[in-house]
Amino acid sequence: MWYDSAALPTDSARSAHESRMSSVSEQVSTPPAESERPFLSIIIPALNEALRLPESLGKIDAFLKQQPYRAEVIVVENGSTDATVEVVRAFMQEHPYVRLFAGEPRGKGRAVRRGMLAARGEYRFLCDADLSMPIEEVSNFLPPKLQGYDVIIGSREAKGARRYNEPWHRHVMGRVNNWIIKLFAVRGFEDTQCGFKAFTARAAQDLFGVSVINGIGFDVEILFIAQKRGYRIAEVPINWYFDPDSRMRLVKDSLGILREIFAIRRNWRRGLYAPKL
């Protein structure tokens, strides 16, 4: 069983979390042999997901059992105060393809970066813990259904996509955010913020290796860098089901994305996204 954990933050406000995580942080994984490397890595950032993860991991397991390829699931816990870690550890007991990184500081961008860079798969798929897109649709992001692209982004707005049960005000806010993103950062895509994206191993290592945005605007940063470097990007329509327990905070997160967009442009001018030698 592969098992990983991150060094825990030292902030005294999280001492209870550190204590709960101590047994996790002592375990270190042994990297798989080259011949055992998976075709697909599924990366799940998890902040207080103890209630949703059991069902989601069960659905992912059922899907993977039907596939002809080797796969791994990486859960990156980042600052949970519930039983997220315990839930994942329990699931790992009978599912050795699951890996856990626990005790990461908060920030979805930080969690996704950690998982993407630690993944071993030829393709690396970002997957929200709520599975608001049915996991079966991951096949639409991968060969043989889709070939020739480096970055594939799920879209709730592309032709053929369908949204279910989404309140109108959230849809309107999402379209406003997308308009701002297209105006100031990334053009050509109708939905940069969907929580389902796939990357080739090469693209993931390159893009996340230079990314620095730790917050919710990490999607914009990754696509901004990908466009600047000439990566081939596809937008795939998905079926998306609104979850009333969505962690997206309309006003606060929208303002956060706007701040991060200007940080991205500033980082580009300063050369922070230059390829690592």
What is the pLDDT at residue 258?
84
First to last CA, the chain: 33
CA 24 to mean position of chain CA atoms: 22
Phi, psi (degrees; rounded to nearest 5) at 140: -70, -15
- Nearest CA to 190 out of 163, 225, 230 is that of 163
Q: What is the DSSP letter of 136?
A: G
Closest CA to 107 of 250, 211, 204, 245: 211
What value does the mean pLDDT take over residues 257-267? 90
| Residue pLDDT, tens place only, 56-77 | 999 999 999 999 999 999 999 9
Distance CA 71, CA 98 (A): 9
Predicted local distance difference test score (pLDDT) of residue 248 = 60
pLDDT at site 244: 77
C-alpha 210 chain-centroid distance: 16
Q: How far is CA 127 from CA 30, 58, 194, 257, in A?
A: 24, 14, 10, 20
Residues pairing with 155 in the sheet? 237
**Least reliable range by pLDDT among 23-37, 99-113, 163-177, 195-209:** 23-37
pTM value?
Answer: 0.84
CATH number of 12-269: 3.90.550.10
Distance in angstroms (rounded) separating the CA atoms of residues 119 and 136: 20
Residue 136 pLDDT exceeds 90: yes
pLDDT category, 30, cuts 50, 70, 90?
Answer: very low
Give the start-to-end residue ranges of the domains of the chain.
12-269
- Mean pLDDT taken over the chain: 85
Provide, rounded to the nearest whole percent, the portion of the chain with pLDDT above 70: 83
Q: Which two tokens stand for residue 41?
A: 């890595």
More confident residue, 263 or 20: 263
